A and B are shown apart, each in its own frame.
Chain A
Amino acid sequence: MKPAEETKILIIDDDEDFLSILNIKFKKEGFLVATAKNGEEGIGAAKSEKTDIILLDMALPKKGGLEILADLKSDENCKNIPVIILSNFSEDENIKKALSLGATDYFIKADNSISDIVQKVKKYIG
Chain B
Amino acid sequence: MASFYLFGTNNGWLFLLIIKRYNKSVIIEIITNIFLSKILVAMIDIVAIFLAYVVYRDNHKALLNRFYVWMTILMLMWINFAYLPRLISQDYYDLGLVSLRIAWFASPLFAASIYLLSIYLVDRETRFKITTIFVVIISVACSLLAAFGNTIISDYQVINGITTITYGSNMLLFLGAVFFQTAMILLPIFRDKEILKDRKNVLFYAGVFIFLFFNSIFNIALPIYFRDARFYFLGDYSTLILLIFIAVAIVRHQLFNIKVVVTEILSFFIWAAVFLQIITATTLNQRLFSVGLFLYVLIFGIFLIRSVKKEIEQREKIEAIEKELQRAYEIEKIAHEQLSALDGTKNQFFMAIQHHLRTPLTSMRGYSDLLLEGVYGKMPKKVREVVEKFKISTVSLINMVNDFLDITQFQLGKKVVSVKEGVNLSNILKQIIDDIQLEADKKNIYLKLEKPEKDCLISADESKLHVALVNIFDNCVKYTEKGGVIIKLDVGTDKIKIQVKDTGMGIPKERLEKLFSSPFERTEQSKKSFTTGRGIGLYLAGEIIKAHNGKIWAESEGLGKGSAFFIELPKN
Interface residues of A (CB under 8 A from B): 15, 17-18, 21-22, 24-25, 28, 59, 88-93, 95-96, 108-111, 113-115
Contacts and interface: CB of A to CB of B under 8 A. Distances in A.
Contacts, number: 72
Contact of A21 (B370, B398, B414): B370
Contact of A18 (B363, B414, B418): B363
Contacts of A110: 358, 361-362, 365, 398, 401-402
B354 interface: yes
A111 B405 CA distance: 13
Interface residues of B, number: 27
Given A59-B351, A89-B355, A28 B375 contact: yes
Given A96-B418, A111-B463, A114-B369, A91 B350 contact: yes
A90 B361 CA distance: 15
A79 B62 CA distance: 80
Contact of B362 (A25, A92, A109): A109
B463 to A, nearest CB: 7
Interface string B316-335: 00000000000000000000
A95 B418 contact: yes
B416 interface: yes
26 contacts: A15-B363, A18-B359, A18-B366, A21-B367, A21-B370, A25-B369, A28-B375, A88-B354, A88-B358, A88-B359, A89-B351, A89-B354, A90-B402, A90-B405, A91-B350, A91-B414, A92-B416, A93-B415, A96-B418, A108-B358, A110-B358, A110-B361, A110-B398, A110-B402, A111-B398, A115-B369
B373 interface: yes
A88 B375 CA distance: 25
B446 to A, nearest CB: 30
A54 B476 CA distance: 43
Nearest to B368: A113
Contacts of B361: 110
Contacts of B354: 88-91
Interface in B358-402: 358-359, 361-363, 365-367, 369-370, 373, 375, 398, 401-402
Given A25-B366, A88-B355, A92-B417, 8 more contacts: A18-B363, A21-B366, A24-B375, A59-B351, A88-B354, A90-B354, A91-B350, A109-B362
Contact of B365 (A22, A59, A96, A113): A113
4 tightest Cβ-Cβ pairs between the two chains A and B: A21-B366, A88-B358, A17-B363, A110-B358
A24 B377 CA distance: 13
B487 to A, nearest CB: 24
A88 B409 CA distance: 15
Contacts of B355: 59, 88-89
A18 B369 contact: no
A21 B363 contact: yes
Contacts of A109: 358-359, 362
Contacts of A22: 366
With most chain B CB atoms within 10 A of its CB, the pick from A24, A91, A93 is A91
A113 B401 contact: no
Contacts of A88: 354-355, 358-359, 362
A92 to B, nearest CB: 5
Contacts of B402: 90, 110-111
A28 B359 contact: no
A90 B375 CA distance: 29
B361 to A, nearest CB: 5
Nearest to B418: A92
Contact of B369 (A15, A17, A111, A113): A113
With most chain B CB atoms within 10 A of its CB, the pick from A28, A90, A113 is A90
Given A24-B375, A109-B358, A17 B398 contact: no
A21 B372 CA distance: 13
Interface string B97-116: 00000000000000000000
Contacts of B405: 90
Nearest to B461: A92
A110 to B, nearest CB: 4
A55 B193 CA distance: 68
A91 to B, nearest CB: 7
A114 B391 CA distance: 12
Interface string B404-422: 0100010000111110000
Nearest to A27: B375
A26 B256 CA distance: 86
A92 B375 contact: no
B566 to A, nearest CB: 27
Contacts of B365: 110, 113-114
B367 A17 contact: yes
Nearest to A86: B362
Contacts of B373: 25, 28, 115
B445 to A, nearest CB: 29
Nearest to B405: A90
A110 B355 CA distance: 10
A118 to B, nearest CB: 10
Contacts of B417: 92
Contact of B359 (A15, A91, A96, A111): A15
Contacts of B363: 15, 17-18, 21
A92 B366 contact: no
Nearest to A15: B359
A17 B369 CA distance: 13
A29 to B, nearest CB: 10
Contacts of B366: 17-18, 21-22, 25, 114
A96 B416 CA distance: 12
A35 to B, nearest CB: 14
Contacts of B350: 91
A61 B359 CA distance: 15
